Amino acid sequence: MNLNERLKNGQLLPLSDKPNNVSTQTDDSEKRLEPLPYRGSRDESKQRLKSILESMDKIVIKNENENMIYAIETSSFFKFKDDVDFLFSDDEQVIHYRSASRVGHSDFGVNKKRMKTIRDLYMEEI
C-alpha cells in the first residue's frame, strides 16, 4: 500500500462519524487523543514506537517510510482488522496517530484502549 493513500492534505485520513475510531488530528472531543511527544530524535522515537508495535501479538507493521508507519491489528476471535497509522511531525516534535476499525459501527472502545496502551508503553522510562 502506498502510504500517501493514508494521508489527506498532509494529515492522517479524517475519521468516520462512527464511534469506532480515534485520532490526534480530529476536532471531535470524544475521539481526540493527544499525540506522542518525540523521545529524542525522530529516528529514536520511531525505533521506540516500532519496538512497542513489534512486541504486540496482534499488530503487524505493513509499511513504513521516513515519516510514517502503517500497521494492522487483527482481533483474535472474529479476525476484524483495524488500521493504525502513525505520522511523524518534525515541526511539532510529535507523533500523530489514527486508529480505526474497518467494519462495524461500535468497537466498544477498543481503538481508544489500544492507543492508550501504546501511549503508556511509549512514555515509560527506559
Q: Is residue 26's pLDDT more than 90? A: yes
Q: Is residue 119's pLDDT more than 90? A: yes
Residue 124: alpha-carbon gap to chain centroid: 18
pLDDT, tens digit, 9 for 90 and up, residues 48-76: 999 999 999 999 999 999 999 999 999 88
pLDDT, tens digit, 9 for 90 and up, residues 3-16: 989 999 999 999 99
Residue 11 makes CB contacts below 8 A (sequence gap 6+) with 25, 87, 96
Task: Categorize the per-residue pLDDT at 126 as very low, low, confident or very high, splitting at 50, 70 and 90.
Answer: low
Q: For residue 94, what is the domain's CATH number?
A: 3.30.310.80
pLDDT at 76: 80
Interatomic CA distance for residues 53 and 55, integer angstroms? 5
Task: Categorize the per-residue pLDDT at 1 as very low, low, confident or very high, splitting at 50, 70 and 90.
Answer: low
pLDDT at 35: 98
Q: Which domain holds residue 103?
A: 3-123
pLDDT, tens digit, 9 for 90 and up, residues 94-109: 999 999 999 989 888 8
Per cent of the chain over pLDDT 90 is 87
How many domains does one find in the chain?
1
Q: Give this prediction's pTM.
A: 0.94
